[in-house]
Structure 1
Amino acid sequence: MRLLVLGTIRRRGVTHGYGVHQDLTAWRAETWTNIKPGSIYHAMDKLAAQGLIRAEDSGDPVKRGPARTEYTLTPDGEAEFKTLLESALKSNEFQQMAAGIAFMETLSRTQVIALLEERLAAQEASAVFLRTLPTESQPSDPSKHPELVGMWAGYMEHAVTATRRLLQSLHDGKYTFADDVE
């Protein structure tokens, strides 16, 4: 949630809470993350209280109705965004990785490749480990159930394949990254 909200504000530069909500809804973020539309404003309040975003009255004297609050990233918010993004791109947790992919182009191509190679090494080690776990045809406990072990190993092998495919796309020059723009 923090990465998505910070990244959306960063992408827009200056935005109202409704703008963040509109972007995340338009991106259908609720289908690839655990974000709930009602939690966006709560997250923004927390980020403002932590000094990661700055909230200011829009000062629009023509607008009728209540004043709107505009948000921008603070320097601490920019640093937190980068930290969260780097962590997400190395994560084996699907929803974190999905949020990382959403904003990966804000980093350099070289940096993203390095983070994904780190992720891949961890995934490959996990896949090997999972294939060595003992199983029993009549499992004495769930950790030895062949279906459970097989499901986790299969999940990790699929994650390895997906990470390799993404890395190949990046090596092939796909997408435009921060260091690709002149």
Structure 2
Amino acid sequence: MVIAQCYVAEAAKEGFEESLVRMKAYKEIAEVGWVQLTAPGSVEQMKWARDAVEGPSSIMQAYMDPLLSKKELLNLGINLLWMARPTHDVTYVALDDFIKDSMERVTSAWDDFQKQHKENPYLTGDLKIGGVQVAKHRGLEERYLSDDSPGKYDRFTGREP
């Protein structure tokens, strides 16, 4: 599926109305499968954006305060959510806490972190990222996409699976 992200609502010279025009063009002319409005400033703008295009639609709630609940989003017809602000903030705060602890306690911080999160799939290896997973992804692309699609892997210089 091809996604079109519409950032124009954030642009100083464009604005929300132009984002609706572009969202419609992405869907109707470019025939993308999914359109995302990245900067709705109100529930009303979310409604207008949702009404502008048919099919899967998502938003990024970066400018919404407070963030809408899952139920509120579903009631608006928005069934996909890009959670940039919360996920970034959680990641940065957790990393900052760990770095401060590591500077103070060096390897003990890592040992304690591993104990505290011993069931976490990232640490157990149950949730895999990189290496082998890139190879699996490539295999799926080679199997299901056109012959020329996986050409990007010819330029791949990373580690082999």
- In the superposition, the TM-score normalised over structure 1's length comes to 0.26
- In the superposition, the TM-score normalised over structure 2's length comes to 0.28
Higher relative contact order (CA 8 A, sep 6+): 1
